[in-house]
């Protein structure tokens, strides 16, 4: 299953997302693409 979460603050880290979502099951991968213009 994949879940899309948009409009995250720039300060949000992979660990932040993992801590929020791991209560629903094992997190296999987190992909946080960066904006091409802002990095």
d(CA 38, CA 22): 29
Asked whether the predicted pLDDT for residue 35 surpasses 80, the reply is no
Domain count for the chain? 1
Confidence (pLDDT) at 10: 87
Residue of higher predicted confidence among 35 and 13: 13
Confidence (pLDDT) at 39: 58
* Helix, strand, coil percentages, rounded to 5, for the chain: 30, 0, 70
pLDDT in tens, 12-34: 999 999 999 999 999 999 999 87
Residue 1's domain comprises 1-39
d(CA 17, CA 31): 10
Taken as a whole, the chain contains a residue count of 39
């Amino acid at each position: 299953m994949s879940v899309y979460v948009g409009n995250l603050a720039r300060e949000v880290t992979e660990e932040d997302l993992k801590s929020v979502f791991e209560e629903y099951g094992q997190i296999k991968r987190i992909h946080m693409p960066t904006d091409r213009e802002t990095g």
